[in-house]
Chains A and B, each alone.
Chain A
Amino acid sequence: MTADVRWAQAWMRETAARIAQHKAELSELDREIGDGDHGENLNRGFTALVGKLDELTSEPTSVGEILKLAATTLMSTVGGASGPLYGTAFLRAAKATEKPELDSQDVVAAIEAALGGLILRGKAAVGEKTMIDAWTPALEAATAAHEAGKTPAEVLRAAADAAAQGAEATIPMKATKGRASYLGERSVGHKDPGAASTALILESAAQTVN
């Protein structure tokens, strides 16, 4: 499957499945440094998204349409801060992908737009133990892959691997944003749940394309 409209739907469904599978683990991460609802919240959001995809009567004509549907659904059903954060990320990415199929450069543009939205909304920077610490290396890796002439599938694989490493790299960080910041030094030693869910989302993107 190339990075087209069908892929976008498969990506979202795969994400929903992975979030459901890792729901308890995400909430557990969140319980350690937050309020323990990240897994349940995202699961509610992506489950609602799958319901909306099932209800689609006509085939969407652009990747952006799917991402926009994801954005508005997540923002209205997730409930916690990750709703507007991922919602903004997907909505920004949707604006960058108003075409039926993405090339490598489009994939980079989508990740860049998503990260831009997160930075704006979350007012966080790299190294503050947030999902931005997964998206930033993902963008760097995607950009490098695109510049090396890789396919969209290879670009997404590079982004997913970098996001997973980025999520692991949040473990020794001290949180200064969000609820985890209330813990200060005690947030050190735990993976950030937002970075962990970002890794799942990008891994799903890479898994469903080839």
Chain B
Amino acid sequence: MGAHVSLVLVSHSEKLAEGGRDLAAQMAPGVRIEVAGGLEDGSIGTSFDRISGAIEDAAGFSESDSDQELRDVVVICDLGSAILSTEAVLEFLPAELEGHVFMADAPFVEGTIAAAVEAHGGSDADTVLNAANATANTFVASHPPHAPHDAGSVDADGAITKTLKIKNALGLHARPAAVLARLIAGFDAKVTLNSVNGASVIEIMKLGLTGGQEVQVSATGAQASEAVTAVSDAINGGFGEL
């Protein structure tokens, strides 16, 4: 168990790339994240050498044990020429890495977080890539949370539903959202929070739920009951922020 997919963050800014890694590492500490930020001298820009080095490190290609299996790598870029540089790197990649490296088409911060959390759960490269790419519509207005109904009921379609009040003042911001998404991904159940996918850190963050607001947790599947209980405990526990 553990992450099979590594990430590479490509940014014009060294600080932005490292900041992205710090942020993602807090939510998904088990994922290997390499950065390629700025030029060699620390100025703003993107560097072919830095990007190719980061990709090779992330894949485990440059490690001394040549028999070690290569990891798949998902690359997340910030702006135009970071994408151009990365495309150039991919074109001239060592043959051994062919088929191991994938470029996300996602906003930098949201894509990084979604990919990291997905990778942390042990998903394959396609799933990690999809998680990152699905954040492209992050800025499209999400539906307002609809009115929750009775707590702990079982719907006609067999879903277990519970309404909870958010305890911590900051609510379901990035870190708690990551905690919930990881927790939920661990159950054999399909869990929604206010009708959005509970296994998606970005979907949870988009709800924008803060302290005092209510959230409706709904689950179906073999471990639906356990999942709702776990989510309920986590939310009632206030994510260590009480």
Contacts and interface: CB of A to CB of B under 8 A. Distances in A.
A138 B30 CA distance: 52
Given A76-B39, A76-B49, A78-B45, A85 B92 contact: no
Interface in A67-112: 72, 75-81, 83-85, 87-88, 91
Contact of A87 (B12, B40, B45, B48): B48
A31 interface: no
Contacts of A87: 48, 85, 88
B81 A80 contact: yes
Given A88-B91, A91-B92, A81 B47 contact: no
B16 to A, nearest CB: 14
Given A72-B48, A84-B48, A84-B81, A121 B43 contact: no
Interface residues of A, number: 17
Contacts, number: 57
A77 B85 contact: no
Nearest to B38: A79
A87 B86 CA distance: 12
Contacts of B39: 76-77, 79
A83 B45 contact: yes
Given A88-B91, A121-B88, A76 B48 contact: yes
Contact of A81 (B40, B80, B92): B80
Interface centre among B39, B43, B45, B91 (most CB of A within 10 A): B45
Contacts of A76: 39-40, 47-50
Interface in A49-81: 72, 75-81
Contacts of A83: 45-46, 48, 81, 84-85
Given A77-B39, A77-B40, A84 B49 contact: no
Nearest to B80: A81
Given A81-B81, A84-B81, A91-B92, A75 B87 contact: no
Interface in A175-195: none
B85 A84 contact: yes
B13 to A, nearest CB: 11
Nearest to A77: B39
Most buried by A among B12, B44, B49, B92: B92
Interface in B76-112: 80-81, 84-85, 87-88, 91-92
A84 B47 contact: no
B91 A80 contact: no
Nearest to B92: A91
A81 B84 contact: yes
Given A75-B85, A88-B91, A80 B48 contact: no
A27 B85 CA distance: 21
Contacts of A77: 39-40, 45, 47
Interface in B43-70: 43-50
A41 B43 CA distance: 11
Interface string B12-30: 1000000000000000000
B82 to A, nearest CB: 9
A121 B91 CA distance: 10
Contacts of A88: 88, 91
Pairs A-B, 9 closest by C-beta atoms? A79-B45, A75-B48, A84-B84, A81-B81, A76-B49, A84-B88, A76-B47, A84-B85, A76-B48
Given A76-B40, A84-B85, 8 more contacts: A76-B47, A77-B39, A79-B12, A79-B44, A79-B81, A83-B45, A83-B81, A84-B81
